Structure formats: structure tokens, C-alpha cells
């Protein structure tokens, strides 16, 4: 028996030379998901709660920040775990679509307002959000190409990536 | 192994996505740091009050020149900086007394910029006529708009009370009792007093005319006024012939300054 085949998890896609979803990859995915949740969920949440004490009105409800941050974190971790498999492309597409949807939601009210004494300061970040859309849009394109690649040449991408 | 085209295309998209994210994160972080520097530098500034204000009288307008110096201690520029001021006093009139705009200017990082606000007060309007002779507190609403680091449009709005000093505060015009002269004329002394609370030079003339009850002119005088601030009292004599009866006469006068004509209330002869 080929040693690499002896280590294949039962649920992994079986292609010659393609690594299985190893325990290490699972742990990496979990750590990546946790880190993403901290960056996209916890940090914005605590920043909003903190600046809210100084009269800054949050553009997005803090609980929603945590929910969306958690969802994106899960999708990011899953995408990392599925990288050796043909499900990676579709997982990238789903993650990118979720990112695009989130940014399009944020762009509807892209304003931070701070009021103190007789002064009101309003900062608009719509330009930043529109530019940030580039990231998931390019990620979507990458995911679509990976999906097509894996469909037309199963296992070829994973063999190149992991060897 | 040579990479298939689809693989390279996917790599290209992935790389572009990652680079975009890194570039934007860097831009946001550096903009945040730069904005912090800007705020620290701006805290020593005027609290959105003008650093210097001067006034001039041109035609029928008092022009207030207010200069706002804006330090940009950050390293990103502030672009398209504009300012709008709306000055009002609801007890004088419902709408704005004056509206002014300044800009747009661009302030590069690490430098200062100046927004020069020119506020015209039309003295021919009912509000302007009131402000000529009455001090007032004027509610000033200020809006400043600009774009920081290209990415972030910022808008600042504030209100404060500005003190208006009238050029002819406590204006009083009086006519003395007619005094017959040995040369067959009658002398009427007219006195104009006021306090210049505005920071403008008042240079002009007063035209005083004695008018009989039929509206005919009996005599007139033109005398200069020159005041750089503070109280002023000027007295002149109007000579009228004895053929012009003084009973029921009125002195009408106009202050003329740089094209501005300020009619004074008619003053009956005692």
C-alpha cells in the first residue's frame, strides 16, 4: 500500500499524490478561524463599545459585528481546511460572496459621527469600503477559477500546490 | 512542472486579492496614525475660531475678513477643504444675516493652510441698517468639509456666538435752537455723536439740511467725520436766511461713507 494512501482520512477526496485533510490542517484551520474572528469580530466590537462612550455613534450594531465576524471566521477556517480538496474553490466563492455582501451592507451607512460640546464631526469611509470590495471580488474570481480547474482537471491543482 | 494556465490565473487573482488587502490595511493604519498627528497638532489651534479678523467698509457692505489657520501635522494631505458660515440673529430677521464661503484649499501633510472667510454684511438691508447702529450677538454656524488622505471625507460642524460691534452705536443726532446772527442769518447747530464699536475706519461726510414745513430747503452744511474707533462727537453749523421761518423746520441728515448712505432720523428744530 502506498504510505500516503494509508494516511488518508475516510472523507478526503482520493487522488493520487493529493494530501489528505490532516490533523495539522484542521488545527491550522481552527487557529485561522479564531484569528479571523478576533480581527473581524472581537476587535471591531470592543472598539465600537469603547468609542461609544465618547459619543461616537456606531455605524453597525455591535452584536451584528460579532455574528458576521463569526460567520466569516468559520468560512475562512473551512476554506483553509478544504484547500487540498475540490471543495476549496466553492468554499472560496462562498467566503468571497459573504465578504461582498457584508461590505455592500456596510456601504449603505458608511459614516462615523462624533459629537461633543458644540462640535459635530462626521467621517465617511465609503471610498474605503468600495476599494475593499476589490479583495473579495478578486477572491471570488480566484475561487471560480479554482472550481473550474478542479472540475476540469481533478487533483491537478492540489498536486501542484502541495508538492 | 510548468504551471497550467488556469492555475496561474488563479494564483494571479489570489495574489492580487492579498496585495489589495495588504495595501488597504496599510493605508488605513497609516491614515489613522497620520490623523492622530493631525488631531494633536490641531488641538493647539483655535478651537475653530478665527485667528485674525479684520473689517472694511466697501460701498454698502461691511466686509469681515476671518482667517482660519489649519495646521496639518499628519503626513497625508487634506484635500478640497471648504468652509461655509451662516450668521444669523432671529431677533433681527428670520433668515441669515450673512452667508460666506471659503476654499477649496489643499493642505499637504506637515504644513499649514489658511481658509480665508470673507463675510459681507449688506448694510442696505433691514438687518444691515439695524447692525449699523446696534451691537448684537450673532449666532455663527460653521461647516468645514474636506477629504483626508484621499479616502476619508470629513465634515465638521460647529456653532458659536460672535459679537458684532456697530460702527454707529448709540447714534444720536440733535439740532440746537436757532440763533439769529448779526449778518441777517440764523445759525442752527447740529450735533452728531456715536461710538464706533466696529474695527473699521469711518471716513466720510455728514450732509445736514434744514427743511421748512413745506419741504423747501432752507440751508445745508457738509462736514467730515473720521473715526478709527471709539466715541465721536461732531458739531457743525447750518446757516439759513431769515427769509426762511424756523418754526416747524426739521433737520434731515445723511452720513455718507465709501458709497454708503445712512439716513439719520429727522430732528425737529426746538
Note whether B58 and B128 are within 8 A (CB). Answer: no
Per the structure block, which three cell numbers stand in for A74? 468559520
Q: Is B239 on the interface with A (CB under 8 A)?
A: no
- CA B25 – CA B31 distance, rounded (Å): 10
10 Å Cβ neighbour count for A162?
11
CA distance A148 to chain B (A): 8
Mean per-residue pLDDT for A98-119? 87
In this prediction, residue B37 carries a pLDDT of 85
- Closest Cβ–Cβ partner in B14, B24, B160 for A132: B24
**B151 and chain A: CB distance < 8 Å anywhere?**
yes
- Compute the distance between CA of residue B269 and CA of residue B247 in angstroms, rounded to an integer: 8
Q: Write b or e for each residue in B197-222: b if 16 or more Cβ atoms lie within 10 A of its Cβ, otherwise e.
A: bbebbbebebbbbbbbeeeeebbbbe
Q: How many CB pairs under 8 A join A and B?
A: 82
CB–CB of A12/A85 below 8 Å? yes
| Omega prior to B104 cis, within 30 of 0 | yes
pLDDT of residue B261: 80
Residue B45, pLDDT score: 59
- Residues in A closer than 8 angstroms to B28, CB to CB, are 128
**Chain B from 14 to 73: CB within 8 A of any A CB:** 14, 16-17, 20-21, 24, 27-28, 48
Flag whether residue B155 sits within 8 Å of chain A, measured between CB atoms: yes
Q: Do A152 and B6 touch (CB under 8 A)?
A: yes
**CB spacing of A156 vs B153 below 8 angstroms:** no
Contacts of B2 (CB under 8 A, 6+ apart): none
The separation between CA B71 and the C-alpha centre of its own chain, rounded to angstroms, equals: 23
pLDDT value of residue B1: 56
Which residue of B lies nearest to A120 if distances are taken between CA atoms? B157
Identify the band that residue A18 occupies on the pLDDT scale cut at 50, 70 and 90: low
CB A73 within 8 A of CB A45: no
CB contact under 8 A, B13 and A138: yes
Each residue's pLDDT tens digit, A54-100? 777 777 888 888 999 999 999 999 999 999 899 999 999 999 999 99
Place of cell 503626513: B75
Instruction: Record the pTM.
Output: 0.73
**Chain A CB contacts of B150 below 8 Å:** 127
pLDDT in tens, chain B (270 residues): 578 899 999 999 999 999 999 999 899 889 988 988 887 777 665 555 666 777 787 777 888 888 888 888 888 999 999 999 999 998 888 889 999 999 899 999 999 888 899 989 888 788 888 888 899 999 999 999 999 999 999 998 999 898 888 888 998 888 888 888 888 888 888 888 889 998 788 888 988 888 888 888 888 889 898 888 889 888 888 888 888 877 788 888 888 887 778 878 788 887
Among B17, B24, B152, whose Cβ lies nearest the Cβ of A142?
Answer: B17
A133-142 tens-digit pLDDT: 999 999 999 9
Q: Which residue has the higher pLDDT, A41 or B62?
A: A41
Describe the crossing of helices A62-81 and A43-52 by its angle, rounded to 10 degrees: 170
Q: Do A125 and B158 touch (CB under 8 A)?
A: no
DSSP A124-156: E-HHHHHHHTHHHHHHHHHHHHHHHHHHHSTTH
Report residue A29's pLDDT band, with 50, 70 and 90 as the boundaries: very high
Rounded to two decimals, the ipTM of the complex is: 0.82
Whether the CB of B180 is below 8 Å from some CB of chain A: the reply is: no
For chain A, percent of residues with pLDDT exceeding 70: 88
Would strands B78-88 and B136-148 be described as parallel, antiparallel, or unpaired? antiparallel
Chain A: which residues have CB within 8 Å of chain B?
118-125, 127-128, 131-132, 134-136, 138-139, 141-142, 145-146, 148-149, 152-153, 156-157, 160
| Neighboring chain B residues of A118 at a CB cutoff of 8 Å | 158-160
Amino acid at each position: 500500500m502506498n504510505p500516503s494512501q494509508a494516511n488518508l482520512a475516510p472523507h478526503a477526496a482520493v487522488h493520487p499524490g493529493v494530501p489528505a485533510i490532516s490533523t495539522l490542517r484542521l488545527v491550522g484551520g481552527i487557529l485561522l478561524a479564531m484569528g479571523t474572528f478576533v480581527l473581524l469580530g472581537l476587535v471591531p466590537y470592543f472598539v465600537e463599545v469603547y468609542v461609544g462612550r465618547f459619543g461616537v455613534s456606531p455605524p453597525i450594531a455591535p452584536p451584528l459585528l460579532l455574528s458576521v465576524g463569526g460567520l466569516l471566521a468559520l468560512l475562512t477556517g473551512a476554506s483553509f481546511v478544504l484547500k487540498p480538496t475540490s471543495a476549496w474553490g466553492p468554499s472560496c466563492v462562498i467566503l468571497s460572496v459573504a465578504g461582498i455582501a457584508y461590505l455592500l451592507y456596510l456601504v449603505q451607512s458608511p459614516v462615523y459621527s462624533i459629537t461633543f460640546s458644540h462640535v459635530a464631526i462626521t467621517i465617511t469611509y465609503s471610498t474605503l469600503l468600495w476599494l475593499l470590495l476589490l479583495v473579495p471580488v478578486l477572491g471570488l474570481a480566484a475561487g471560480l477559477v479554482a472550481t473550474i480547474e478542479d472540475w476540469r482537471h481533478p487533483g491537478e491543482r492540489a498536486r501542484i500546490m502541495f508538492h | 512542472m510548468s504551471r497550467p494556465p488556469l492555475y496561474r490565473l488563479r494564483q494571479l487573482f489570489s495574489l492580487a486579492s492579498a496585495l489589495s488587502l495588504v495595501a488597504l490595511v496599510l493605508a488605513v493604519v497609516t491614515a489613522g496614525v497620520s490623523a492622530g498627528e493631525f488631531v494633536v497638532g490641531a488641538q493647539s489651534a483655535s478651537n475653530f475660531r478665527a485667528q485674525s479678523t479684520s473689517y472694511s467698509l466697501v460701498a454698502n457692505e461691511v466686509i469681515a475678513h476671518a482667517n482660519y489657520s489649519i495646521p496639518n501635522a499628519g503626513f497625508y494631505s487634506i484635500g478640497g477643504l471648504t468652509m461655509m458660515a451662516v450668521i444669523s440673529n432671529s431677533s433681527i430677521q428670520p433668515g441669515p444675516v450673512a452667508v460666506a464661503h471659503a476654499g477649496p484649499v489643499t493642505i499637504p501633510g506637515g504644513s499649514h493652510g489658511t481658509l480665508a472667510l470673507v463675510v459681507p454684511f449688506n448694510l442696505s438691508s433691514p438687518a444691515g441698517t439695524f447692525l449699523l447702529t446696534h451691537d448684537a450677538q450673532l449666532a455663527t454656524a460653521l461647516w468645514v468639509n474636506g477629504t483626508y488622505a484621499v479616502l476619508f471625507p470629513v465634515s465638521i460642524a460647529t456653532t458659536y456666538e460672535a459679537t458684532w460691534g456697530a460702527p454707529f452705536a448709540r447714534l444720536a443726532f440733535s439740532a440746537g435752537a436757532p440763533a439769529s446772527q448779526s449778518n441777517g442769518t440764523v445759525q442752527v447747530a447740529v450735533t452728531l455723536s456715536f461710538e464706533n464699536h466696529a474695527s473699521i475706519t469711518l471716513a466720510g461726510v455728514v450732509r445736514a439740511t434744514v427743511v421748512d414745513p413745506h419741504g423747501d430747503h432752507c440751508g445745508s452744511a457738509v462736514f467730515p467725520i473720521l473715526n478709527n474707533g471709539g466715541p465721536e462727537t461732531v458739531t457743525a453749523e447750518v446757516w439759513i436766511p431769515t427769509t426762511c421761518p424756523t418754526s416747524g423746520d426739521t433737520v434731515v441728515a445723511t452720513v455718507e461713507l465709501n458709497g454708503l448712505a445712512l439716513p439719520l432720523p429727522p430732528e425737529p428744530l426746538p
